[in-house]
Structure 1
Amino acid sequence: MEDERRSMSSNKVWDLEEIPKGAKTVGCKWVYKTKRDSKGNIERYKARLVAKGFTQREGINYTETFSPVSANDSFRIIMALVAHYDVELHQMDVKTEFLNGDLYENVFMAQPKGSVVKKKKKSIYGLKQASRQWYLKFDETIRSFGFKENVEDNCIYAKFKNGKFIFLVLYVDDILLASSDMNLLLETKRFLSSNFDMKDLREASYVLGIEMHRDGKKGVLGLSQKAYIENILKRYSMHKCKRCSMHKCKASPVPIVQGDVFGNFQCPKN
């Protein structure tokens, strides 16, 4: 919680003002989360002061909303290129990403206990427009460094320099960097760290809940969602279930009988 307060202070998130007559305030609350690695081990504890954005009114204190996430197909294509060309693949994490976006609307939020006077108004977690404002800020910043946005997927960026290339994949606060040149990769990392509060996770091994297993000599990059699947099984108390063998019991491990063949006439017609 103290880290969150310091982040808000360094980002100059809000001004302390008197509420104008007739204006509605947006409440806030603390949200706690435990970050875990691919094996389920606790990495760190996080606390976020979140605005109750569900009380905002469209056209009054927000307009457009969306989260900057790359498409799954784009992610797979980048991973295929990484495996094929055997390039460097690193990961960075943006700390308090939503505190970077500039807020253009007037939003009056009730102050949490222990807050101090701030000098500039910025976005905050929980506001409906927070993710969009973060994207606009990041887009403007990364373009100034020579990156170009992909026309099909706005969260994929590329930069080409002296025959070398680097791809950047943005997924809210997770950033993947795939580069054919280590110097270009380090140069990009330094630029990002100079503009945002970044955490360098070095070589990517666990991204968006996906484990990565790489063999550069064979040109193979394996992706596994084992941790995600196990979490789903635990959520529905199925993690201790064992697969039934067709030869040992009458129950089937799948809702169809083994050996059944289906024809084209049984496919959906729409």
Structure 2
Amino acid sequence: MTSIGIYGSLGRMGTAIRDILTVQGVRLAGGADAGDDPAELARAADALVDFSTASALGVHLAAARDAGTPIVIGTTGLTPADHAAIDEAARDIAVLQTGNTSLGVVLLARLVREAATRLGPDWDIEIVEAHHRHKLDAPSGTALMLGEAAAAGRGVALGDVRVADRAGLSGARAEGTIGFASLRGGSIVGDHNVILVTEGERIELAHYAQDRAIFARGAVRAALWLAGQPAGRYTMDAVLGL
């Protein structure tokens, strides 16, 4: 039986993953949090999931790489340097990095990319996301994931067209930009709405998370799938065969 180890096991997602492992009868290899030895967990597990913090990613990647253990990274707020470290680790182990492990969000991203591909540049794209008051990063990793999908559909780099804050801006909306708006409050698990609008009509593609368990189920499915893969960098699309 494949065993799964959890980095950030005492956090919201770590706790949810523990619960899903129990329900599905998947063996828990253990957990590692601040002050624990990440290398020990990496050696004990057949696959790892990391929902800790971006600042701990380098240590966790190194431990997984040394042990030859595949790792699913769901931690958000990653920097270009973090992504470079993931690319480096993926030379030796299987690494799946994603801004969201919900299977519904994975399909939403595919729909967003398709819509952006089919619709012309006169269709404006805005992404609105809402999360609980304790969310650390904005825009959310999922919002950026959807933005990347929209940009890919248009054949551009998100960094070249992204507008994350319109405060203080004046003038008309620049054609081809992809806008982001972030809302924070209460206990919202995660709402994401991609709005495509042109003169006289509007399309809205949305996903509303009502229970953190959806992310935990997706993370466990991804870890079980990743355990049998060769070294390389993967996405949730591969888990679903997209």
Shorter-chain TM-score bucket reads under 0.3
TM-score, normalised by the number of residues in structure 2: 0.23
Higher helix share: 2
Structure exhibiting the larger radius of gyration computed from Cα positions: 1
Question: Which one scores higher on RCO, CA 8 angstroms, separation ≥ 6?
Answer: 2
